[in-house]
Amino acid sequence: MPELASDYLDHTLPLHRRLAVRLHLSICTACTNYYAQMRKTIALLRGLPAVTPSAETEERVLSALRTPPGGTSAD
């Protein structure tokens, strides 16, 4: 069930899968708790203010993403 939680929350599961997940949640306390935690986490994250990084920070992150681990920049 945990592997389906994100898709269930995003409403991207086909109808038959969505119904199966809903049925499972109606009988499985552990998965119901996991699903509730996911929903709370999403709600908390949506409540955070948006943060815009400085141009310097953005460039450092982009540079790090362009550089393979243990390698040199591909630029």
The 10s digit of each residue's pLDDT in 34-65 is 999 999 999 999 999 988 999 999 999 999 99
**Arithmetic mean of pLDDT over the chain:** 89
pLDDT (average), residues 22-33: 94
Q: Are 13 and 21 in contact (CB under 8 A)?
A: yes
pLDDT band (50, 70, 90) for residue 74: low
What pLDDT, on a 0 to 100 scale, did the predictor assign at position 27?
Answer: 96
What does the domain layout of the chain look like in residue ranges? 2-49
CA 30 to chain centre: 20
How large is the C-alpha radius of gyration of the chain? 19
